[in-house]
Structure 1
Amino acid sequence: MRKLIWGTSIVVVLGIIAAIIFTPKSDPTDFDYASLPVLGQTDAPVKIVEFGDFKCPACQYFSQQVKPQLEKEYIDTGKAAMYFMDFLIIGPDSETAALAAHSVFHQNNDAFWKYYDALYKNQPDEKLNWATPDYLLQLAKDNKIDVDYDKMKTDIEDKTYIKEVDKGSSTARKANVQSTPTLFINGKEYKGDFSNYGQLKEAIDKALAADKAE
């Protein structure tokens, strides 16, 4: 009986070990970085992708409290670059805000990030349908966003970049993104608390170390 029990135990243990060894690891998400708004140097060793919704209050927090720290320590120093993709989860006018931002991006990448900051700084209550074409256009003018405003108006009304907006949300769903903001570091989802800068810094430093080791 003892031999039977020991034999069974060994088989179970070996089965667990085999499951750990042979369970396929999830591959990093393959982003088309060249098609995305970028903040920082495109050849930076660490690439951070934010999935966001311009109506999302948590994204507002990230833009105002976390992004400035990332810029100072990693982006401005050339260690990391930040990219943005849409994941529309709040309301129907989340799409309108995304269309406006895409118009700005296609005219001026640097202006996109200024507009990104302006959108979050002036973000009303998420329950309101505030992201109207008139509001979004006036916000660009008030913040002296360096784009052609007539083109921006047309791009919003004609939904010029709707395929790009939809592609962002589709990519998010395929990557099993559940909320905004969600960050990916060199293609791998950051599972920690985005508001805990120390935890995020540790993940970025780990990615930097891995890049140097290659």
Structure 2
Amino acid sequence: MNKKILLSIVILILCLGITSIITTFIVKNQSSDITDLPTLMDASGKIDLEVGDFNLSYQPYIGDSNAPIKVIEFADFKCPACRNWDRLYFDSFKEEFIDTGKVQFYFINFPFLGPDSIEAAVAAEAMYNQEPGKFWEFKEKLFQKQGEEKTIWATEKFLLDFVKDNISGVDYNLFESNLKNRKYLFDVKKDFKISAANGIYGTPSFIVNGEKVGPDKLENKVNELID
């Protein structure tokens, strides 16, 4: 077996184990709403992946498709560091690199912090599949409303109320139906496996033209490629 694929399988197992431990901790310490949350095991279907496969044609993106630099963000909506990067750096990064045609920017869910991470990711997929342009507004505003990392806050009710109160110009009834039926849970499971298979084990993480970098080195890496 290819060593990279074997390593990716080990990382995936470790990530699943970490998710299980975190979920158990939350369940023991906060019982409300937990029984209604999805797990990745609820999504059935075969997923065939190879290292370097990001399924980009199905991922949310902004920027010119002809941009020479492709940046992929891996994030969890419960991750405080993801919120901070989005709040402090995304707008300036977008203005300097995406809006100028240098970077095409993708987003992939890596919901590893708890069961409501998965629910939030399902909601994000439902938004993207209904109105792709609204995904980025959803992402920004949901990070602004982020609750405490060790609490269950991204419940079905919270997310439905959040969209009703904060996101206009979408078919709310369709969003509600897709979230309640967890129509895009399999897509979230695939994102999780894509992340793990490519060596992602924390958030936020970025891959720039195939190379993994941390948020502190993202801008330098992009500038290096431009130069």
Q: CA deviation at 1:29?
A: 2.2
Matches within 5 A, 1:108-147: 108-147=131-170
For 1:98 and 1:153, the matched residues in 2 are separated by 14
Native 8 Å contact 2:206 2:218 kept in 1: no
Matches within 5 A, 1:3-152: 29-152=52-175
Where in structure 1 do 4 or more consecutive aligned residues deviate above 4 Å?
Answer: none
Native 8 Å contact 1:97 1:136 kept in 2: yes
For 1:32 and 1:45, the matched residues in 2 are separated by 18
For 2:169 and 2:154, the matched residues in 1 are separated by 20
Residue of 179, 197, 201 corresponding to 2:219: 201
Q: CA deviation at 1:40?
A: 1.6
Q: CA deviation at 1:28?
A: 7.7
For 1:151 and 1:82, the matched residues in 2 are separated by 27
For 2:180 and 2:52, the matched residues in 1 are separated by 32
Native 8 Å contact 1:56 1:90 kept in 2: yes
Native 8 Å contact 1:49 1:183 kept in 2: yes
Q: CA deviation at 1:30?
A: 3.1
Native 8 Å contact 2:137 2:167 kept in 1: no
TM-score (norm 2): 0.74
For 1:105 and 1:131, the matched residues in 2 are separated by 17
Which is bigger in relative contact order (C-alpha 8 A, separation at least 6)?
2
For 2:197 and 2:97, the matched residues in 1 are separated by 28
Taking a change above 3 Å as real, the CA distance of residues 183 and 64 of structure 1, as seen in their structure-2 partners, is: same
List gaps (5 residues or longer) in structure 2. Answer: 5-49
Native 8 Å contact 2:117 2:154 kept in 1: yes
Q: Residue 157 of structure 1 aligns to which amino acid in structure 2?
A: K
Which residue is 2:204 aligned to? 181
Pairwise CA RMSD of aligned residues?
1.8
| Percent of residue pairs identical | 34
For 1:188 and 1:168, the matched residues in 2 are separated by 18
Which residue is 1:4 aligned to? none
Taking a change above 3 Å as real, the CA distance of residues 28 and 203 of structure 1, as seen in their structure-2 partners, is: farther
For 2:118 and 2:72, the matched residues in 1 are separated by 19
For 1:80 and 1:28, the matched residues in 2 are separated by 22
TM-score (norm 1): 0.79
The number of residues matched between the two structures is 179
